Chains A and B, each alone.
Chain A
Amino acid sequence: MMANQRAEILPVVDLSDVSVQYNIPTEKIGTLKEFAIRRLQGKVSYKKFWALNHVNLTIYRGEVFGLIGNNGAGKSTMLKVMSKVLRPATGRVILYGKIAPLLELGAGFHPELSGRENIYLNGALLGYSKNQMDDVFDEIVDFSELKAFIDAPIRTYSSGMYARLGFAVATAHFPEILIIDEILSVGDESFRHKCEARIRNYQSRGSTVIMVSHGMGSIEQLCDRAGLLDHGKLVTVGDPKEVVARYRAEN
């Protein structure tokens, strides 16, 4: 009991004063030739754009945390900072636990390779070893319901089949931190339920889930806490219903 209570207050993701800045060239310079000419003329200038602006946030073990906000508010940037893809310009990101990001539909698959080969390729991209993939291979095939097609090149797969395979590979290992960026909007109804069931199962075993969604319904239903981002600033964090209400009021 004590252990459980302790577990709940342990931080898994800790962002302190995190900013991410994009330099957007005021004019598009696509070639080295152009760059050299402009540089000589002293005409290279950038507009600074803060995708994340001094954000402080702590996410705790075992919670489902939702991020909402308009397009361009910085939701995806926040996930990227957490998953080591982007290094922040200011501040500090600390993770306590292995992170399992979900790839976009079809990313990291090679169309000419079979489902079987793609499972290994995709697992390798997510940082797993051969042995780790051998252990979960059958599990992945079962979960994705692709047993009959596993040796066919995946260019013959439908987009639903891609999504099933991608989700099955990414969640095959118990994730300490699971990152979900709108991924559940793909696949049919029954498979979506299966995915949600798996996420709940992991969560009950101690996983932390961080999700981004435009579906306010799923944020209210699934999340323990939610945060609202606006123009790179974290406006509010708290009860999902209140955060969603505030988001709706502002739009």
Chain B
Amino acid sequence: MENQNRVTYDSAKQGPHALSELQDLFRYRFLLEQLIKRDLTTRYKRSVLGIAWTMLNPLGTMLILSFVFSNIFKATHSYPVYILTGLTIWNLFSQASMATTSGLVWGGTLLKQIYLPRTVFGVSAVGTGIVNVLLSLIPLILVMLITQTPIRITILFIPIPIIIAAMFTLGVGLLVSGLAIYFPDVADMYNILLQAWFYLTPIIYTEEIIPKQFAGLFFANPMYWIVRLFRLPTYFGVWPQWADIWPALISGLSALIIGWFLFTARSDEYSYRV
């Protein structure tokens, strides 16, 4: 009987938000798994091809873009592979950071009724994104074979850019979704920003076509470094050097830390707001 009278919750006692959120997230890891599974299975549940769409989707975009721009980038070897490598990592970022916000909207009705770690929707959105990237490696390798792009051993490096992209995505996603709880128009603004960001990053064009005096625009863009870090071991087939890695790594880490701390610092307020 004595052991029944243990304290399971005390509103006056709370460790640092950022840390207690991490502990709670670990306790709810089965929920993370379930949310990722749900996102993967429900997205194409009522379509005939099902999960194959995850692979066909970037392939279709790549085909259209290569067709439209093939004349301009005639000199670029294996242009389809160039596009596809860029799109793969960009899609992880754009889709998962948007999904963080929509996940929090879906979870809003739940957050008002039961306790959940508030970061669970962001983390599961990025988890889904990582699975999608892994799936889209299959069409990527296929296209590389078809276009006779050499597949080198350096391809084994790609977990590093994927992890860095995931950190950056989660950080940005948490920031945007945290703001969107207070102001719903932030989600729309972010959507527009993403489109501009897409064209500011060398995904469909090569960086050589941009005049030298604008090169600074790339260096200040974290996605430039992340896309590049993914392309080096795949499209270019070379091992990235430390000078290629650290700008991406610093961007990913700082976005994650800033996003996590700002999001969790106010997370007690969210159930008042959503």
Using a CB–CB cutoff of 8 Å, the interface residues on chain A facing chain B are 3, 6-7, 10, 22, 30-33, 35, 61, 80-81, 83-88, 91-99, 101, 103-104, 107-108, 110, 112-113, 117, 120-121, 124-130, 133, 153, 176, 206
A80 near B34 with CB under 8 A, answer no
Contact yes or no, B1 A3, CB < 8 A:
yes
Tell me, rounded to whole Å, the shortest Cβ–Cβ distance linking B231 to chain A: 35
User: What is the CB-to-nearest-CB distance from A205 to chain B, in angstroms, rounded to a whole number?
Assistant: 12
Q: Is the CB of B114 within 8 A of A124?
A: no
Question: A97 vs B6: C-alpha distance in the bound complex, in angstroms?
Answer: 7
Given A30-B185, A110-B42, A124-B28, are A85 and B8 neighbors across the interface (CB < 8 Å)? no
For residue A130, which residues in chain B have a CB less than 8 angstroms away from its CB? 30, 33
User: Are B4 and A86 neighbours in the complex by a CB distance under 8 Å?
Assistant: no
The answer to whether A85 and B42 touch across the interface, beta carbons within 8 angstroms, is: no
User: Are B184 and A95 touching (Cβ within 8 A)?
Assistant: no
Is B112 a contact partner of A7 (Cβ separation < 8 A)? no
A108–B42 Cα distance when bound, in Å, is 14
Q: Once bound together, how far apart are the Cα atoms of A127 and B8, in whole Å? A: 14
Contact pick for B179, options A10, A32, A108, CB 8 Å: A32
A83-B115, A84-B115, A107-B113 are known contacts. Are A113 and B5 too (CB-CB below 8 A)? Answer: no
Say whether B11 contacts A93, CB under 8 Å: yes
Q: Decide yes or no: A10 and B5 within 8 Å by CB, A107-B113, A108-B110 being known contacts.
A: yes
Chain A: CB-nearest residue to B6? A96
B189 interface contact, C-beta 8 A: yes
Q: How many residues of B contact A (CB 8 A)?
A: 41
* Per-position 1/0 for B190-230, Cβ under 8 A of A: 00000000000000000000000000000000000000000
Residues of B within 8 A of A61 (CB): 4
* Binary contact readout B133-160 vs A (1 if CB under 8 angstroms, 0 otherwise): 0000000000000000000000000000
The residue from B6, B34, B113, B185 contacting A32, defined by CB atoms under 8 A apart: B185
Q: Using Cβ atoms and an 8 Å threshold, which residues of chain B touch A30?
A: 183-185
Check A112–B183 contact: CB distance below 8 A.
no
CA distance A128 to B31 in the complex (A): 8
| From A94, A97, A124, residue with most partner B Cβ within 10 Å | A124
- Which of B45, B109, B185 is A104 in contact with, Cβ under 8 Å? B109
Binary flags per residue of B109-128, CB closer than 8 Å to A gives 1, else 0: 11111111000000000000
| Contact assessment for A6 and B1 in the assembled complex, using a CB-CB cutoff below 8 Å | yes
Q: Does chain A have a CB within 8 A of B9?
A: yes
Q: Are B8 and A125 in contact (CB under 8 A)?
A: no
Closest chain B CB from A211 CB (angstroms): 15
Q: Is B18 an interface residue (CB 8 A)?
A: no
- Chain B interface mostly helix, strand, loop or mixed? helix
Nearest Cβ distance between residue A215 and chain B, in whole angstroms? 20
Q: Which of A33, A97, A110, A129 interacts with B185 by CB under 8 Å?
A: A33
Number of A-B contacts (CB under 8 A): 122
When distances are taken between beta carbons in the complex, the residues of chain B under 8 Å from A3 are 1
- Is the pair B110, A103 in contact by a Cβ cutoff of 8 Å? yes
Residues on the B chain within 8 Å of A127, using CB? 27-28, 31, 115
With contacts A30-B185, A33-B185, A101-B113 taken as known, whether A92 is within 8 angstroms of B10 at the C-beta atoms is yes
| A172 smallest CB distance to B (angstroms) | 15
* Chain A residues, Cβ within 8 Å of B4: 7, 10, 61, 96-97, 176, 206
CB contacts (< 8 Å) of A120 on chain B: these are: 34
Given the complex of chains A and B, what is the CA–CA distance between A108 and B8 in angstroms?
Answer: 24
Q: Which 3 A-B pairs have the closest CB atoms?
A: A32-B183, A84-B115, A124-B31
Q: Which of A87, A101, A125, A133 has the most CB of B within 10 A?
A: A125
Report the separation of the CA atoms of residues A130 and B30 in the bound assembly, to the nearest whole angstrom. Answer: 6
Subset of 11 A-B contacts with CB under 8 Å: A30-B185, A33-B185, A35-B183, A84-B11, A92-B11, A94-B7, A94-B11, A103-B114, A112-B42, A125-B31, A206-B4
